[in-house]
Amino acid sequence: MSKWTTADIPDQTGRRFVVTGANSGLGAETAKALAKAGATVTLACRNVNKAQPVAAEIGPNATVAQLDLADLASVRTFADSCDGADVLINNAGVMAIPMRRTADGFEMQMGTNHLGHFALTALLLPKIADRVVTLSSSMHQIGRIDLDDLNWEARRYRRWRAYGDSKMANLMFGKELAERLAAAGSSTSSMIAHPGYAATELQGRSETVEDVFMKFGNKIFAQSAAEGALPTLYAATSPDATNGTFYGPTEMFGSRGAPGVSGYHKRADDAGVRDKLWTMSEQLTKTDFVV
């Protein structure tokens, strides 16, 4: 895997991918690299107008579809319209935004980053032939799943903690899905990835003075979105990627560099919390997740 780059992506001709949030940043770079390798890619985005130029740049291998992960009705509509794919990449997300709620009343970061993708995966899984890749973040390290107040209804809202919680939920979901798929004898696998410190449009949405520093950091310290997409691309395409494994950059304490197996906070291995989070996610999203 040493110094793995997009040049190492196997031929993807004839394979179909769904990439959420592919209108910019990591998702757009992921879609471009997959299409360059021969794949057909669906850019599943809330802002379809913003996604159209990305699809036009990619060419005939790309299509755009409406998907708002902060609205379960939109998730169900998209899932009904999708006739299947080899790989689902749960990439879309929001980060450190002010307190807002989704159309279904969930805290926006947990609702978009985890619950929307949980419901989408549940609805699409019977149509996914190969694997599911879910994006987490190194910020999962600060996340602690509060099963008594998942949607920040009783606590004072803290935007970075809420983001960390949602990213821990992504990691727990990806690992739990992997175990359940393996137990069911499924040929489908579940991997998790994170981009390290990559310059994307996620930064700069906090509506605080922090935005100035994050934009400065993007210019000075961060790697590019294309480089940040490498762990996702490895997880999504490499024949060596393994079920339940977390992939990320391997240099500068996991902030940049070629993709490899990533360390993670061992809270993500708490089987009791993972099982309860799964059940709660089913209840909140009104989905019956059959593996």
- List the catalytic residues: 163
User: Do residues 214 and 203 make contact, with C-beta atoms less than 8 angstroms apart?
Assistant: yes
63 half-sphere exposure, CB direction, 13 A CA radius: 10
Output the DSSP codes for 248-290.
EEEETTTTEEEEEE----GGGG-HHHHHHHHHHHHHHHT----
Angle at 89 between CA 128 and CA 121, to 5 degrees: 50
User: Do residues 95 and 205 make contact, with C-beta atoms less than 8 angstroms apart?
Assistant: yes
Q: Which residues contact 272 (CB under 8 A, 6 or more apart)?
A: none
Strand order across the beta sheet in which 62-66 lies: 62-66, 40-45, 16-20, 85-90, 128-135, 189-193, 246-251, 256-261
Angle at 195 between CA 24 and CA 274, to 5 degrees: 110
170 half-sphere exposure, CB direction, 13 A CA radius: 36
Whole-number Å distance between alpha carbons of 243 and 179 = 8
